[in-house]
A = this chain, B = another copy of it.
Amino acid sequence: MAEASADALVAGLRRAGLRITEPRRAVCAVLAAAPDAHLTAAEIAARVDRPVDTSTVYRTLEALEGAGLVEHTHLGHGPGVYHVTPTPPHHHLVCEACGATFDVPGRDLQRAVREVTEPIGFVADVTHFAIVGRCRDCAAPIPTLPGDHGHEDR
């Protein structure tokens, strides 16, 4: 088991003066079990052992986020994804074609972003939104198809 144990998340909730319940424990367990994954609220609800209502999942995630234990991000047009707050800042890349996601260290990006945003006094949170594009497998092939604009989404 990793450092970001379910217990740590539960402890964080307790520290925030919130009550510890079975549904909350279960959500924490799911998050802790996949510290590197990007899970939607629905996925979390599905992975939980005992049935937990979607609204409870959202409320729990909201509580965890408020305590700084969890972050949520938008990886595309779909639902938001949640994950335990990572120690090192990182950025998300999402392939708009196949939906694959990649984590990249935010160090270099953070520096570059700061160069652009600092002049106007903007403090950026690089981790919150993803950069979309196309991964290696989806980018190169199919240069031009006859009569096709190549704009398949979804």
Contact, CB under 8 Å: A115 / B122: no
Q: How many copies does the complex hold?
A: 2
A112-B109, A112-B111 in contact; A125/B132 too (CB < 8 A)? yes
A99 to chain B, nearest CB (A): 13
Contact, CB under 8 Å: A108 / B115: yes
A104-B116, A116-B104 in contact; A135/B150 too (CB < 8 A)? no
A18 to chain B, nearest CB (A): 11
**A interface secondary structure, majority:** mixed
Asked if A48 is at the interface of the complex by the 8 Å CB criterion, the answer is no
Contacts of A105 in B (CB 8 A): 116
Contacts of A130 in B (CB 8 A): 129
Binds B, one of A2-10, A21-29, A31-39, A90-98: A90-98
Asked if A66 is at the interface of the complex by the 8 Å CB criterion, the answer is yes
Question: What residues of chain A have their CB less than 8 Å away from a CB belonging to chain B?
Answer: 65-66, 74, 77, 80, 91, 93, 95-96, 102, 104-105, 108-109, 111-113, 115-117, 119-126, 128-137, 139-140, 142, 145, 148-151
